[in-house]
Structure 1
């Protein structure tokens, strides 16, 4: 059975699609994925939103930056209180 304009659902290109109830779902070249996004998500404001792979990479980079900042902040706090780590 063909869809609108002779395209079937499997003929749709990869990307984000509105699936109802304020929800977007990502479809890749093989079919529907488990990646969902709320239409109120700030990342959904710029159309189209980034691919899930890009979103995951951005999340990893943000986590790494936070970890680095926390480690740096921890060493500054230790210096303020006169505690230094022993070097081996």
Structure 2
């Protein structure tokens, strides 16, 4: 499965719901602190990345778009999980 980045402000519950989202999106593992990763540590498949900022609004946008990683807000991800 393509990797997914879930973003929301710090303290909003990303880590609390990480396992539920990982299973829903059928990903292999959760990676916290997306912003701290180097470009070569970002993988196109199998990972749920947790970010405190929307990476499409940062210098990471080029890497994320090139890899085809889906970016979704926490509230939208949780809504999908509850369906």
Shorter-chain TM-score: which interval?
Answer: under 0.3
TM-score (norm 2): 0.20
Of structures 1 and 2, the larger Rg is shown by 1
